[in-house]
Structure 1
Amino acid sequence: MERAREIGIESFWHKDVSEETILDIINRMLVGELIYQNSTPEVMLGSVKSTEFTPMEIQVLRLLTIGAGNEEIA
């Protein structure tokens, strides 16, 4: 959440909530409220909980998901 705020994202919410909650969030954002979740939900990545990764491991996973490091080495 801190990173979202730092880079200027006005609101951020994970999609693992009910449709009613999402609609409420959208309506609140439309009137100018900035909305961030209090915590990141815990999800399983393989056999590991997302909360068990170190910040460096999270950074590596982010790079892998965007394809960084897949360039061919000459």
Structure 2
Amino acid sequence: MVATEDVYNRISVLRAERGVSRKDLATALGVHYQTVGYLERGEYSPSLHLALRIAAYFEVPLEVVFSLKPFPRLGSEVK
């Protein structure tokens, strides 16, 4: 079995639900706003420290924000 380095996330979904801009999230986390964009697009995987801070910011468990498997599409869970 070949391991993949992909880390999937729901940062953009959580931001949209809460009305938080990339810039506001970046400021709260102490990172550049472009870093948030890279994270959302999967172009950058966060350090464990940053991942924990993102989960804490949204007040959700880490696995709500990040996964090693793609998240199901919204609406596909309700059947």
> Scaled by the length of structure 2, what TM-score is found?
0.27
Select the structure that is richer in helix: 2
> Scaled by the length of structure 1, what TM-score is found?
0.28
For CA contacts below 8 A with separation 6 or more, give which structure has more relative contact order.
2
| Structure ID, larger Rg | 1
